[in-house]
């Protein structure tokens, strides 16, 4: 009953936005040549022509439109409205109502990215790409993220399947919509599929001052920078990170990344480019650059002007302390495995948001977290490691009118206390499960 009432609230929001012409409504029957082009964790994506024009659109449908889904659609539309002007961010044109028995079966009408995801684009085109092309892709991606950060939005789920390509141009997509919805069966396995892109800081926990409780790290804008570093490497290699054919990512990779493992520099990569991405994927968030520095550095490479990247440490393999991987570090490994074992899908409610806003009023505060999903903490005994995954049902209260800040300059990122953790729904995942690297 409650769920229906809430759903109606979001439906009303959409209908009012359409009435007031803030949101364009497309009649579903005016689309033709509709073809399914992909399936995500929450629905299908179709390519379609509109009326008799040659223009192609992407239509995103949803398997079920419940309260959570509706909220997320509204939230996604609101975020999108803030960044709609940017060439490297996928555009949302409006909304449609798909033909179905469910009378509120809304679908999103989006810009169609004819070259698919960055991952598939690299797979198909890598041999043709020059270094200038690669720099441009990296630059466009950093411009898109710079636009988000400038609007106080953190993506927190950047990986090569969330980045689309249209006419060889980067189009950043998916502001956490699918992960927030999250109740689908392949949701958790998807999280494993993106391990290499996730800020390793979030794999750890820390004790508070009096050593009484543990806190978990909340992904923030420096986490986006980490993902950007990995993506830049991917652009230089044409391969997903840590890709081994027929092998899956697993919790062992989490341990190794936490200990400093990074991808190997692709031979002949220009040194300045290596400097940028290795700074971005520094294990310590404070050492990572801002997205604005990244944009400047890439711009300097592209325009062949001088680029000064300060305090650079020459990266990956050298930085990786091999002894720490090979010696008896079982305590740390055990903890990380435990941490990766129990996942909290945390969604911040309005109370937490407003109290934090009081403390974070500087200009550098960010207003919206796009995706809260990697703000998890784990901590069950190894014996539970074989438990079968339970479906995640995030019971969140997200008010799209709220925007929330992320990080105070004084703090090293945001950490959640045990009390805050307790307020969040917990689900157990199977650490023995490993997820195939998504391949398109």
Ligand X SMILES: Nc1ncnc2c1ncn2[C@@H]1O[C@H](COP(=O)(O)OP(=O)(O)OP(=O)(O)O)[C@@H](O)[C@H]1O
Residue 331 CA to residue 346 CA, distance in Å, equals 27
Smallest separation (angstroms) from ligand X to the CB of 336: 24
Smallest separation (angstroms) from ligand X to the CB of 123: 12
Region binding ligand X by CB under 6 A among candidate stretches 110-118, 373-381, 396-404, 407-415: 110-118
Residue 227 CA to residue 225 CA, distance in Å, equals 5
Smallest separation (angstroms) from ligand X to the CB of 98: 14
Comparing CB distances to ligand X, the nearer of 178 and 421 is 178
Comparing CB distances to ligand X, the nearer of 176 and 289 is 176
Q: What DSSP character marks residue 370?
A: S
Tell me the site size for ligand X, rule CB under 6 A.
22
Helix axes 131-150, 291-302, angle to 10 degrees: 150
Smallest separation (angstroms) from ligand X to the CB of 221: 21
Residues 178-197 that bind ligand X (CB under 6 A): 178, 190
Q: Does 122 bind ligand X (CB under 6 A)?
A: no
Region binding ligand X by CB under 6 A among candidate stretches 14-22, 32-40, 131-139, 378-386: 32-40
Contacting residues for 172 by C-beta, under 8 A, at least 6 apart? 88, 89, 90, 141, 144, 145, 148, 155, 158, 162, 163, 164
Residue 176 CA to residue 387 CA, distance in Å, equals 27
Q: Are 398 and 347 in contact (CB under 8 A)?
A: yes
Q: What DSSP character marks residue 201?
A: G
For residue 124, what are its two tokens?
């198909």
Measured in whole angstroms, the distance separating CA 182 from the mean position of its chain's CA atoms is: 13
Binding test (CB under 6 A) with ligand X, winner from 113, 122, 145, 183? 113
Known binding residue 342? Answer is: no
Comparing CB distances to ligand X, the nearer of 297 and 376 is 376
From the number of C-beta atoms within 10 Å of its C-beta (0-12, 13-18, 19+), residue 16 rates as exposed
Q: Does 38 bind ligand X (CB under 6 A)?
A: yes
For residue 37, what are its two tokens?
């082009």
Smallest separation (angstroms) from ligand X to the CB of 28: 17
Residue 255 CA to residue 250 CA, distance in Å, equals 9
Q: Does 110 bind ligand X (CB under 6 A)?
A: yes
Smallest separation (angstroms) from ligand X to the CB of 207: 34
Smallest separation (angstroms) from ligand X to the CB of 263: 22
Q: Does 117 bind ligand X (CB under 6 A)?
A: yes
Smallest separation (angstroms) from ligand X to the CB of 161: 5
Q: Does 164 bind ligand X (CB under 6 A)?
A: yes
Q: β-pairing, 368-369 with 153-154?
A: parallel
- Which segments of 93-242 does DSSP mark as H helices, in order? 118-125, 131-150, 177-181, 187-193, 221-237
Site string for ligand X, 47-66 (x = CB under 6 A): -----------x--------
Residue 242 CA to residue 234 CA, distance in Å, equals 10
Region binding ligand X by CB under 6 A among candidate stretches 36-44, 260-268, 323-331, 343-351: 36-44
Binding test (CB under 6 A) with ligand X, winner from 40, 182, 229, 240? 40
Q: β-pairing, 92-97 with 24-26?
A: parallel
Region binding ligand X by CB under 6 A among candidate stretches 13-21, 123-131, 157-165, 195-203: 157-165
Comparing CB distances to ligand X, the nearer of 191 and 265 is 191
Binding test (CB under 6 A) with ligand X, winner from 11, 18, 34, 45? 45
Comparing CB distances to ligand X, the nearer of 68 and 274 is 68
For residue 383, what are its two tokens?
């014996």
Cα-flanking dihedrals φ and ψ of residue 426, to 5°?
-120, 140
Comparing CB distances to ligand X, the nearer of 186 and 313 is 186
Q: Does 94 bind ligand X (CB under 6 A)?
A: no
What is the three-class DSSP state of 45? strand
In this structure, the number of other CB atoms found within 10 A of the CB of residue 346 comes to 24
- Which segments of 360-439 does DSSP mark as H helices, in order? 418-422
CA-wise closest residue to 345 among 318, 310, 377: 377
Q: Does 42 bind ligand X (CB under 6 A)?
A: yes
Q: Does 325 bind ligand X (CB under 6 A)?
A: no
- Bind-site residues: 60
- Bind-site residues for ATP: 60
Binding site for ligand X (CB under 6 A): 37-42, 45, 58, 90, 110-113, 116-117, 161-162, 164, 173-174, 178, 190
């Amino acid at each position: 009953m409650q769920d229906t009432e809430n759903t109606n609230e979001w439906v009303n929001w959409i209908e009012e936005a359409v009435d007031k012409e803030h949101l364009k409504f497309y009649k579903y029957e005016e689309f033709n040549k509709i073809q399914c082009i992909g399936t995500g964790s929450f629905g299908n994506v179709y390519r379609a022509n509109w009326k008799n024009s040659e223009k192609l659109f992407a239509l995103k449908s949803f398997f079920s439109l419940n309260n959570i889904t509706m909220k997320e659609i509204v939230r996604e539309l609101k975020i999108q409205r803030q960044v709609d002007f940017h060439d490297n961010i996928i555009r949302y044109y409006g909304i449609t109502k798909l033909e179905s028995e469910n009378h509120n079966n809304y679908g999103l009408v989006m810009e169609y990215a004819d070259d698919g995801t960055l991952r598939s684009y690299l797979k198909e085109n890598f041999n043709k790409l020059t270094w200038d092309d690669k720099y441009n892709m990296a630059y466009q991606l950093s411009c898109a993220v710079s636009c988000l950060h400038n609007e106080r939005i953190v993506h927190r789920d950047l990986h090569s399947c969330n980045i689309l390509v249209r006419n060889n141009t980067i189009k950043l997509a998916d502001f956490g919509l699918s992960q927030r919805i999250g109740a689908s069966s392949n949701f958790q396995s998807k999280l494993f599929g993106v391990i290499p892109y996730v800020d390793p800081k979030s794999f750890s926990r820390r004790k508070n001052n009096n050593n009484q409780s543990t806190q978990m790290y909340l992904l923030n804008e420096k986490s986006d920078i980490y993902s950007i570093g990995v993506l830049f490497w991917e652009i230089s290699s044409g391969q997903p990170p840590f890709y081994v054919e027929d092998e899956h990512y697993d919790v062992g990779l989490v341990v190794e990344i936490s200990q400093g493992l990074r991808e190997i520099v692709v031979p002949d990569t220009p040194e300045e480019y290596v400097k940028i991405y290795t700074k971005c994927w520094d294990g310590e968030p404070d050492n990572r650059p801002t997205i604005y520095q990244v944009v400047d550095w890439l711009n300097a490479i592209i325009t062949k002007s001088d680029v000064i990247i300060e305090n650079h440490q020459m990266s990956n393999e050298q930085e990786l302390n091999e002894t720490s991987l090979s010696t008896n570090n079982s305590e740390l490994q055990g903890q990380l495995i435990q941490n990766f074992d129990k996942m909290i899908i945390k969604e911040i409610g309005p109370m937490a948001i407003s109290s934090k806003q009081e403390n974070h009023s500087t200009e550098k505060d960010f207003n919206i977290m796009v995706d809260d999903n990697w703000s998890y903490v784990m901590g069950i005994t190894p014996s539970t490691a074989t438990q079968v995954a339970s479906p995640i049902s995030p019971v969140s209260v997200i008010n799209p009118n709220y925007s929330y800040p992320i990080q105070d300059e004084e703090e090293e990122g945001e950490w959640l206390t045990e009390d805050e953790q307790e307020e969040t729904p917990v689900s157990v995942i199977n650490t023995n499960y490993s997820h195939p690297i998504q391949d398109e």
